[in-house]
Structure 1
Amino acid sequence: MYGIVLTLHSLVRWLVLGSLLFALYRSYRGLYGKRPYTKFENSVRIIAATAAHIQFVLGVYLYFISPVTNYFISNFSEAVHLREIRFFGMEHATMMLIAVALISTGSSKAKRKTEPRAKFKTQAIWLTIALIVILSSIPWPFSPLVHRPWLRPF
């Protein structure tokens, strides 16, 4: 089960990044192009937030079944000094929780705005900050800190 959830978590990352980038593109396009906030923009916002929430649920489940995080929790005093264990046991989980909170907050605030420009601006700001947090906390294959493959096989 661990391997399947880990692979799904790895694959859904691309759905989150793609939907978030597309939502940001539409937000900045609407903001600077002075466009109306249509049902399509609203759907893009909902899809990006939903993808992030699905990924978060997979991540939380993975956190509790992962041998890496189980080791981190069981041996905290020594595991906190091991970069890879600490990254997955504490840093990645915390930063992604913050990113999902930013996406949720931005989505909620944008939904409540009445003016199209205010919707686009709110969405653009909150999602940009969330994207920065996400990009800084993904274990990229090129990262000198902790790295994982681009895609995990099943």
Structure 2
Amino acid sequence: MYQILLPLHSLVRWLVVVSLLFAIFRAYRGKFRKQDFSAFDNTLMLIAVKILQVQFCIGVILYFISPIVRYFLNNFKTGVHLREIRFFGMEHITMMTIAVFIISIASEKVSKTQDARQKYRIMALWFTIGLIVILSSIPWSFSPLTSRPAFRPF
């Protein structure tokens, strides 16, 4: 299962990034053009949030079956001093959980808000913050701290 979920998690991250970027673009566009919050924008927001939540579920499953995390949890005193082990055992899951909460709560606030311009403002601000947290916590292939390939083969 690990050999299937890891490449899937790697692939879905691109859907998360693209869907959030598009939702953020539409939110800033609607905010600055002072447009009404459209059904398309609402659907786009919900799709981005659902993709993110699916990715998070895959990530949580991976967390509990990962050999790296297993090593971290069984050898905490050693693992916390090893950059890559600590990243996957503690930092990545913590930051991604925070990002999912930020974006999910923002989505709920947008759904409950009546004012269209306020919806765009909430979505633009909080989705941007969530995306920054996500981007800072992905093990990019170019990262000098913890590096993983941009695409993992199945």
Instruction: Tell me which interval the TM-score lies in, with the shorter structure as reference length.
Output: over 0.9
Aligned pairs for 1:1-154 (under 5 A) are 1-154=1-154
Q: Distance in 2 between matches of 1:123 and 1:113?
A: 11
TM-score normalised according to structure 1 size: 0.99
Percent identity between the aligned chains? 58
Equivalent residues, number: 154
Q: Distance in 1 between matches of 2:57 and 2:86?
A: 20
Q: Distance in 2 between matches of 1:33 and 1:149?
A: 39
Deviation at 1:144, TM superposition (A): 0.8
Q: Distance in 2 between matches of 1:125 and 1:153?
A: 35
1:64-85 CA-to-partner distances (Å, cap 9, x unmatched) read 0000000000000110000000
Q: Distance in 2 between matches of 1:38 and 1:130?
A: 22
Unaligned runs of 5+ in 2: none
Deviation at 1:35, TM superposition (A): 1.1
Deviation at 1:91, TM superposition (A): 0.2
Deviation at 1:38, TM superposition (A): 1.0
Q: Distance in 2 between matches of 1:96 and 1:141?
A: 18
Q: Distance in 2 between matches of 1:38 and 1:135?
A: 27
Q: Distance in 1 between matches of 2:55 and 2:100?
A: 9
**Superposition RMSD in Å:** 0.5
Deviation at 1:3, TM superposition (A): 1.1
Q: Distance in 2 between matches of 1:26 and 1:61?
A: 32
Q: Distance in 1 between matches of 2:143 and 2:98?
A: 21
Deviation at 1:153, TM superposition (A): 0.2
Deviating beyond 6 angstroms after TM superposition, the runs of 4 or more aligned structure 1 residues are none
Q: What amino acid sits opposite 2:121 in the alignment?
A: K
2:121 partner SS: helix
2:84 partner SS: helix
Deviation at 1:36, TM superposition (A): 1.2
1:43 partner SS: helix
1:145 partner SS: coil
